């Protein structure tokens, strides 16, 4: 069903994701110390847990203490929760997650078919709570809401850098805030085997540096997720990305060992040998363990980036390909996948894999996760498979929230039939961790993942990026409230980066400067730091820098508006633009001088500040030329544009987003002459 959003008074709507229907009605419901909660319909431990957590967040925000929820005595309660039934024991694809919320000046009523639906409604209530001079209150509203897609995921790579259990729990809390419902854990890769195997303990013992989740810890995590309505899908990546398996079991490889845990990034050669029966014996036993451990219906087998080098170099494998009519390495991988799919099915699971697994020989029950483009998703659903979209949702590329937001698993121009479209289950935001540690993970995921969460939850018609950003700023506060460290950690990291070298005024300037720049994504980092390994500290200025600069985004909007204005030299907008550029130029020059006078990585960061000062100077010149209608020479313009597009690699990996609107000013100054 394609629903469109009915949002009246949308400027008053603080919610993210935006609900299907939001109507602001008259008045408000005061929230005072007498606020009370009653459960009228179905009640259980999961609902009680969610209510107590929600109440605690209300208490921490307001400073008040509220009575604990009561069951069956709804008459006078301020919030009545009416849930029809429990929902599935473990969260399940496609279960009813809808809820309806009715807030009047007398009472709030939350109705849902299942406990997961009620939990979504509670998160909505938490986003509605606000204060003014008269105190705390909920605005009177009528909300009817349900997700657009049943599969709204976040993939976490816990292999390249280790992610402690508590950090994952924090992400689960954040996911619940924005109604994401699948945590996909990428548990094995060349750089680490992160889950305990009881049948083949050398997998985690030799492949993890001791950094793995025990099965008991994983059970605890799965329960923590389920308590928040979130499924946990394990990914065991085969037959490539498998170096960590081969440290303890070198006989499974396609070339002789020995093997060591990989410390660098990229596509590695070590690959399981699809012609070796011992490989299937081990996978059978290990997948059996995983199938018993993870209650979810799906098991992700990875399947990505098999470079075939070990297969090409092994004559026995090439003979196997010829003898079995498999044509080439892709055929060999399809043979392997068919065998693995039978094992996955034997253990009662559905097979999910990256789009490389797509092959006409595989059964239609598989689910394909498209990461290399959208075409594979369309091919998969046309073949009768189900599919997820991750292309366009790679958080580690550090694109702006609006960029991810513009990607839709089922855009309006989609040529899929309604039946094919129904097989698009949703999508996943992906957080690969080559360039993120426990300390930086939150700031690389949040709050931008919330924009993707809205794409997966809200009707397709919800597309206004400005309105998304308005609500994203509020969502960021809510995400901090549940313990995420996307604001807190970068601030502490910057203090460590500066050390004793910068006195407080210089430190404050560096901190202000950092709000104007952005960290380069995976490609810029690879260019900038080719020698990095798993043990290189990720504690540089780039790691303290935001993924997206709100200030630069707002400046770009102001520049666009000004370019379409009269551009009067004395107009307030012109004066504001000049004042802004002058202030930033002074700030950036001070920072450049301060960093440049230091040593080591502080000095390395100086060119970024110098480049920013340069961009501001050029911007001022362009504004003045445009305002006074003085033409700028082509040579001048071309030289400035070339300099402004200096890549992030030249600035210790930092992007200068302000250089983009400055480039627009410069280009406009050129065309203004004609
Ligand atoms: C992938 O990004 N290799 C799935």
Three-state SS string across 124-182, please?
HHHHHCEEECCEEEEEEEEEEECCCCCEEEEEEECCCCCCCHHHHHHHHHHHHHCCCCE
Give the ligand 1 atom nearest the CA of 302. Answer: 4
**Nearest Cα to 664, choosing from 647, 641, 643, 631?**
641
- Residue position matching structure tokens 């990026």: 465
Tell me what the mean pLDDT of segment 116-128 comes to. 98
Q: Count how many Cα atoms sit within 13 Å of the Cα of residue 39 in the half-sphere of its side chain.
A: 23
For 300, the 3-state DSSP assignment is strand
Q: How many CA atoms lie within 13 A of 511 on its CB side?
A: 17
The answer to whether residues 387 and 337 touch, using CB atoms and an 8 Å cutoff, is no
Band of residue 9 on the pLDDT scale cut at 50, 70, 90: low
Q: What is the mean pLDDT of residues 382-402?
A: 97
Q: What is the mean pLDDT of the chain?
A: 95
In sequence order, the 6+-apart residues with CB closer than 8 A to the CB of 349 are 287, 291, 296, 297, 298, 299
Q: What is the mean pLDDT of residues 508-531?
A: 86
Query: If we measure between CA atoms, which residue out of 422, 643, 664 comes closest to residue 561?
Result: 664
Residue 501 DSSP code:
T
Nearest CA to ligand 1 atom 1: 304
Residue range 490-512: average pLDDT?
94
Range scoring the smallest mean pLDDT among 8-22, 164-178, 213-227, 425-439:
8-22
Tell me how far the alpha carbon of residue 371 lies from the centroid of ligand 1, in angstroms.
Answer: 6
> In 458-521, which residue ranges form alpha helices assigned H by DSSP?
465-481, 488-498, 504-514
Q: What is the pLDDT of residue 651?
A: 86
pLDDT at 140 over 80: yes
pLDDT tens per residue, range 572-622: 999 999 999 999 999 999 999 999 899 888 998 899 999 999 999 999 999
List phi, psi (to 5°) of 111: -115, 140
pLDDT tens string 552-566:
999 999 999 999 999
Which domains, ranges and CATH numbers included, belong to the chain?
A: 21-145 (3.30.379.10), 488-671 (no CATH)
Q: Which residue in the block uniquely carries the two structure tokens 């997650």?
A: 97
Atom of ligand 1 nearest to the CA of 241: 3
- Residue nearest ligand 1's atom 2 by CA: 371
Mean pLDDT of 473-496: 97
pLDDT digits (tens, 9 = 90+) for 302-361: 999 999 999 999 999 999 999 999 999 999 999 999 999 999 999 999 999 999 999 988
Nearest-CA residue for atom 3 of ligand 1? 304
Ligand 1 atom at shortest distance from the alpha carbon of 305 = 3
Rounded to an integer, the average pLDDT of 12-22 is: 95
Q: Would you state the pLDDT for residue 530?
A: 62
pLDDT digits (tens, 9 = 90+) for 77-104: 999 999 999 999 999 999 999 999 999 9
pLDDT at 443: 98
- Index of the ligand 1 atom closest to the CA of residue 371: 4
pLDDT tops 60 at residue 1? no
Q: 217 vs 164, 214, 570, CA distance in Å?
A: 11, 5, 65
**Has residue 265 got a pLDDT over 80?**
yes
| Dihedral Cα 572, 662, 396, 15, nearest 10 deg | 20
Helix (H) / strand (E) containing 321: helix 315-323
Q: How far is the CA of 497 from the centre of ligand 1 (A)?
A: 31
pTM score over 0.85:
yes
CA–centroid distance, 506 to ligand 1, in Å, is 41
- Write out pLDDT tens, residues 193-213: 999 999 999 999 999 999 999
CB-based contacts of 108: which residues, under 8 Å, 6+ apart? 29, 78, 79, 80, 101, 102, 125, 138
Confidence (pLDDT) at 631: 81
Encoded tokens for 617: 């100077």
Most informative mutation of 354, 358, 368, 521 for ligand 1 (most atoms within 8 A of CB):
354
Top mean pLDDT of 160-164, 517-521, 605-609 is at 160-164
C-alpha dihedral sign at 44, 49, 50, 51: positive
Average of pLDDT values for 530-542?
89
Q: What is the band of 2 on the pLDDT scale with cuts at 50, 70, 90?
A: very low
Question: How far does Cα 294 stand from its chain's mean position?
Answer: 23
Sign of CA dihedral 309, 311, 316, 321: negative
41-to-19, 81, 89, 290 alpha-carbon distances in Å: 23, 7, 17, 36
| Kind plus residue range of the DSSP H or E element containing 108 | strand 108-112
Which residues participate in catalysis according to the annotation?
Answer: 305
Looking at the chain, the whole-number percentage of residues with pLDDT higher than 90 is 89
| 247-282 per-residue burial string, b: 16 or more CB within 10 A, e: under 16 | bbbeebbbbeeebebbeebeebbbbbbbbbeebbeb
**529-547 average pLDDT score:** 90
Q: Is the pLDDT of residue 75 over 80?
A: no
The answer on pLDDT for 542 being more than 90 is yes
- Cα(303) to ligand 1 centroid in Å equals 9
Q: Which of 458, 455, 390 is nearest to 427 (CA)?
A: 390
Percentage of the chain with pLDDT > 70? Answer: 97
Kindly tell me if the per-residue pLDDT of 673 is higher than 50: no
What spacing in Å lies between the alpha carbon of 364 and ligand 1's midpoint? 22
Residues touching ligand 1 (Cβ under 6 Å) are: 304-305, 354, 371
Phi, psi of 428 (to 5 degrees): -140, 135
Section 63-77 average pLDDT: 87
- Range 140-173 burial, b when 16+ CB lie within 10 A, else e: bbebbbbbbbbbbbbbbbbbbbbbeeebbbbbbb
* Mean local confidence (pLDDT), 181-201: 98
């Amino acid at each position: 069903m394609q629903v469109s959003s009915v949002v009246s008074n949308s400027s008053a709507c603080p919610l993210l994701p935006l609900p299907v229907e939001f109507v602001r009605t008259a008045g408000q419901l005061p929230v005072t110390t007498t606020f009370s909660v009653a459960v009228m319909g179905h009640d259980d431990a999961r609902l009680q847990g969610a209510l107590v957590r929600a109440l605690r967040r209300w208490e921490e925000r307001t400073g008040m203490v509220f009575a604990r929820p009561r069951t069956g005595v709804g008459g006078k309660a301020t919030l009545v929760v009416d849930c029809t039934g429990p929902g599935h024991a473990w969260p399940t694809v496609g279960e009813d997650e809808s809820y309806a919320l009715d807030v009047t000046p007398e009472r709030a009523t939350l109705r849902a078919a299942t406990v997961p639906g009620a939990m979504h409604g509670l998160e909505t209530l938490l986003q509605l709570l606000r204060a003014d001079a008269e105190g705390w209150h909920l605005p009177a509203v009528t909300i009817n809401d349900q997700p657009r897609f049943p599969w709204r995921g976040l993939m976490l790579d816990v292999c390249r850098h280790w992610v402690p259990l508590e950090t994952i729990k924090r992400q689960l809390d954040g996911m619940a805030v924005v109604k994401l419902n699948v945590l996909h854990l990428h548990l094995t890769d060349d750089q680490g085997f992160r889950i305990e195997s009881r049948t083949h303990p050398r997998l985690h013992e030799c492949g993890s540096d001791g950094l793995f989740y025990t099965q008991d810890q994983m059970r605890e995590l799965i329960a923590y997720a389920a308590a928040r309505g979130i499924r946990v899908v394990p990914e065991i990546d085969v037959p490539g990305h498998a170096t960590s398996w081969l440290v303890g079991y070198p006989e499974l490889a396609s070339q002789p060992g020995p093997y060591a845990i990989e410390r660098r990034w990229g596509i590695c050669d070590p690959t399981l040998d699809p012609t070796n029966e011992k490989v299937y014996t081990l996978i059978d036993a290990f997948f059996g363990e995983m199938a018993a451990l993870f209650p979810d219906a799906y098991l992700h087998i990875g399947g990505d980036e098999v470079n075939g080098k070990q297969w090409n170099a092994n004559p026995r494998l090439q003979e196997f390909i010829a003898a079995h009519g498999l044509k080439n390495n892709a055929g060999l991988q399809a043979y392997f996948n068919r065998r693995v799919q039978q094992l996955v099915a034997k253990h009662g699971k559905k097979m999910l894999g990256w789009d490389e697994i797509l092959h006409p020989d595989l059964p239609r029950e598989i689910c394909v996760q498209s990461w290399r483009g959208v075409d594979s998703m369309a091919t998969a659903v046309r073949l009768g498979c189900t599919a997820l979209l991750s292309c366009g949702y790679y958080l580690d590329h550090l694109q702006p929230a609006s960029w991810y937001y513009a990607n839709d698993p089922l855009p309006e121009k989609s040529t899929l039939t309604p039946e094919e479209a129904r097989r698009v289950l949703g999508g996943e935001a992906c957080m690969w961790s080559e360039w993120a540690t426990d300390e930086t993970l939150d700031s690389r995921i949040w709050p931008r993942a919330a924009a993707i969460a809205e794409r997966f939850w809200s009707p397709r018609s919800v597309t206004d990026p400005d309105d998304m950003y308005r609500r994203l700023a509020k969502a960021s506060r809510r995400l901090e409230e549940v313990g995420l460290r996307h604001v807190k950690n970068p601030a502490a990291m910057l203090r460590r980066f500066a050390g004793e070298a910068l006195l407080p005024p210089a430190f404050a300037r560096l901190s202000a400067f950092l709000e104007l720049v952005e960290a380069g994504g995976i490609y810029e980092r690879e260019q900038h730091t080719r020698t990095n390994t798993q043990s290189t500290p990720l504690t540089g200025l780039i790691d303290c820098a935001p993924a997206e600069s709100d200030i630069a985004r707002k400046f770009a909007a102001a520049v666009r508006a000004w370019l379409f204005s009269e551009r009067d030299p004395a107009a307030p907008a012109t004066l504001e633009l000049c004042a802004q550029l002058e202030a930033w130029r002074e700030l950036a020059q001070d920072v450049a001088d301060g960093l440049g006078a230091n040593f080591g990585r502080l000095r390395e960061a100086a060119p970024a500040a110098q480049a920013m000062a340069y961009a501001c100077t050029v911007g001022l010149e362009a504004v003045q030329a445009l305002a006074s209608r003085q033409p700028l020479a082509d040579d001048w313009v071309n030289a400035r544009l070339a300099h402004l597009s200096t890549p992030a690699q030249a600035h210790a990996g930092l992007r200068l987003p302000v250089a983009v609107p400055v480039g627009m000013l410069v280009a406009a100054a050129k065309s203004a002459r004609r």
